Structure 1
Amino acid sequence: MNTPAPSATAVPASRWALVAGTVVVLTAIVSVLLVAFAWPSARSSVHDVPIAVAGPPTAVAQIRTALEQRLPGGFEITAVHDTAAAEQLISNRQVYGAIDLSSGTPQVIVASAASTAVAQTLQAMATGLSQAGGTSTPIAVRDLAALPADDPRGAGLAAGALPLVMGGLLAAVLLTRLVHGTIRRVTGALSFAVTGGMAVAAILQYWLGSLSGSYPANAGAIGLAIAATSLTVLGLESLLGYAGIGIGAVVMMLVGNPLSGTATAPEMLPGWSGAFGQLLPPGAGGRLLRSTAFFDGGGATHAVIVLAAWVALGAVLCLVGTLRSAGGGHDSNAGVNRQPVMNR
């Protein structure tokens, strides 16, 4: 009687040490994910939020004292003389709102399109100031830049931040896997930025009703954010191989997206995190889109510079990675056929 030979494909069971190590790694990963996404929201608060106060110096000083008593360190106040000056600061996105005491009848001016969270805080502050003044008449609240009627809470704009980051990452991964040639990959990333920007802007503006303003400007803002993400990750992959994609995903997804401040406001995030988030593509992209959609481009300069810098960085990284490959440098993607000619 013949005994069947053991299967050549049989794989021995893994060692228990490997199982334990895998569990430890997975636990660390889920902990990092929780901290990355939950910490900014859980520690969100009003601190150093820029607002304007319009009126005589004495009245401005009184408001400054009252706000400091109610929310210590909550607001960074800019004193102006009249309503027009306060509105100009709001339109230029230098402040989120204003308390106007210059026209006789006190009013609070908000811009819910800049941040619904800050607008709600200012509305509550108006009620508190009215009660502090010993009058039952509420202080009028005027929304200078309101969100669209179809999306009064800005849910579509806030929810759209993550797909933009994922779209840029997905573009880099697919172009790396499917397209050979640095110039072809960069061209594909830029082309996708155009078509993706047009598609996402159309969905947000014409279907969901989450955006106002100029459709071409909104599409351009979204496209620039996608280009900044995809080109940066492409450049990192060109220089570091698959490890570059991982680094790009961590920077954009685990750091940039939670610290973007798109759902609230950068100033409401804990410590330095909000300001840092505005230097990354998700934060700059969210600010740029709000500027084009609701403020006629006001306050967009910083965001455009940040995104353009990331696009340029990605292009430089692609060039450096290609030149290194052409010069016989180490290829971190073992087993992947890299052709060294840029226009291959």
Structure 2
Amino acid sequence: MVLSCILIGLYVGFSSAAKPHRAPVAVVTNQEPAQQVGVLAGPALQAHPVGDRESGLALLRNGRVSAVISTTPIGLRLDVATAAGPTTAVSIEEEVSAAAAKLHRPLSTHDTVPLSPTDRRGLAMFFTGLSLSLASSSLAHSLNRAHSRPPWRQRVCVTGVFGALSGLAGALVTGPLLGALPGPVLSVATTLALLSVTGALTTQALVQWLGPPGHAATTVLFVAVGMPTSGGIVGVHLLPPPAQFVSGLLPPGAAVRAVRSYCYFHGVQVTVPLLTLAGWIAAAAVLLWMRDGQYRQSE
């Protein structure tokens, strides 16, 4: 019941209270109306000065900003990337539109980096990550309940093979088959495999050390907190600052960032997310190895 309340509170709470918190926006500095919009928007937006619109669009296409504000002969122009999250694009447009109204200037909005036509709401990565997390938990549960306790090496090998197969299957289904995640198949598959292995090894490690509460702990980390803060439903920049910080540390958030970058932003800024996933895998493997050593000594 407690876990259900946590799930409801986080999923519904983040969705209903979503608003921009220092969302990165490129602002053309030599255009005074664009600068005024950035000032009027206040803390909702974090202005990144650029010399011209093309420089701002380069940042937008690399995923470094969420929008570009510039001027036109008749008013203001807002370039957004729904690929970075439809909720983020809509929220930024609302903030900029309100500021433009105060300046009595019309605003035109253009989706410069759109989502795949088969994933117009941008939910493909969320449901893919959730599915892999649940499958990983099921694998970990099976290994932990095995009659003969699998040794460390066997656990790691089985989990690695499972992760590779599930990651490849997920990339093929969401990519070539459905067209929802249009990134390079091998890059997306590698990221999904890392997420799957992370979930399975972490679950095994926590259950080995904590017993049954380990399952609840991993559910909280990967599903209750990890998924709603991942940016898969509510954009990361619409989350409260503490949730934004947590998002980058947990595997679901890291996986969403990497896959989104591979699919829409040329694979820029994937190093940190991939290292985050690798760090979780290494930590879980070490914890399992230590626990396996304790069991061997006690036999």
Q: Report the Cα offset of residue 127 of structure 1.
A: 4.5
The verdict on how the C-alpha distance between 1:134 and 1:255 changes in structure 2, with shifts beyond 3 A counting, is closer
Secondary structure at 1:62 match in 2: helix
Write the distance in 2 (CA, Å) between the matches of 1:211 and 1:29: 31
1:5 corresponding residue in structure 2: none
Partner amino acid, structure 2, of 1:232: T
Q: Is the 8 A contact 1:83 1:103 kept in 2?
A: no
2:237 corresponding residue in structure 1: 267
Q: Is the 8 A contact 2:22 2:44 kept in 1?
A: yes
Of residues 43, 46, 53, the one that matches 2:17 is 43
Of residues 26, 29, 35, the one that matches 1:55 is 29
> Which runs of structure 2 are paired with 1:164-203 in the superposition (5 Å)?
164-178=132-146, 180-203=150-173
The verdict on how the C-alpha distance between 1:280 and 1:103 changes in structure 2, with shifts beyond 3 A counting, is farther
Normalized against structure 1, the TM-score is what?
Answer: 0.78
Write the distance in 1 (CA, Å) between the matches of 2:72 and 2:187: 35
Q: How many pairs are equivalent?
A: 297
Normalized against structure 2, the TM-score is what?
Answer: 0.89
1:156 corresponding residue in structure 2: 124
Write the distance in 2 (CA, Å) between the matches of 1:49 and 1:301: 21
The verdict on how the C-alpha distance between 1:29 and 1:301 changes in structure 2, with shifts beyond 3 A counting, is closer
Q: Does 1:113 align with 2:83?
A: yes
Q: Does 1:96 align with 2:70?
A: no
1:235 corresponding residue in structure 2: 205
Q: Is the 8 A contact 1:56 1:102 kept in 2?
A: no
Of residues 116, 138, 143, the one that matches 2:111 is 143
Write the distance in 2 (CA, Å) between the matches of 1:293 and 1:74: 27
Write the distance in 2 (CA, Å) between the matches of 1:33 and 1:142: 35
Between 118-127 and 179-188, report the one with greater CA deviation: 118-127
The verdict on how the C-alpha distance between 1:153 and 1:32 changes in structure 2, with shifts beyond 3 A counting, is closer
Q: Does 1:85 align with 2:55?
A: yes
Deviations along 1:302-321, whole A, 9 cap, x unmatched?
21121111011111111111
Q: Does 1:280 align with 2:254?
A: no
The verdict on how the C-alpha distance between 1:29 and 1:66 changes in structure 2, with shifts beyond 3 A counting, is closer
The structure with the largest alpha-carbon Rg is 1
Write the distance in 2 (CA, Å) between the matches of 1:31 and 1:245: 17
Q: Is the 8 A contact 1:55 1:102 kept in 2?
A: no
Partner amino acid, structure 2, of 1:34: I
Partner amino acid, structure 2, of 1:141: T
Q: Is the 8 A contact 2:80 2:110 kept in 1?
A: yes
Secondary structure at 1:113 match in 2: helix
Write the distance in 2 (CA, Å) between the matches of 1:191 and 1:56: 55
1:66 corresponding residue in structure 2: 40
Q: Report the Cα offset of residue 268 of structure 1.
A: 0.9
Of residues 18, 21, 31, the one that matches 2:5 is 31
Between 202-211 and 318-327, report the one with greater CA deviation: 202-211
Q: Report the Cα offset of residue 104 of structure 1.
A: 9.5
1:331 corresponding residue in structure 2: none
Write the distance in 2 (CA, Å) between the matches of 1:151 and 1:36: 24
Between 308-317 and 125-134, report the one with greater CA deviation: 125-134
Write the distance in 2 (CA, Å) between the matches of 1:218 and 1:244: 29
1:19 corresponding residue in structure 2: none
Deviations along 1:157-177, whole A, 9 cap, x unmatched?
333232122122122112223
Q: Which has the higher helix share?
A: 2
Secondary structure at 1:164 match in 2: helix
Q: Does 1:292 align with 2:262?
A: yes
Deviations along 1:43-81, whole A, 9 cap, x unmatched?
22222111111231745542222322xxxx211111111
Q: Is the 8 A contact 2:80 2:89 kept in 1?
A: yes
Write the distance in 2 (CA, Å) between the matches of 1:323 and 1:288: 34
Write the distance in 1 (CA, Å) between the matches of 2:67 and 2:4: 38
Secondary structure at 1:272 match in 2: helix
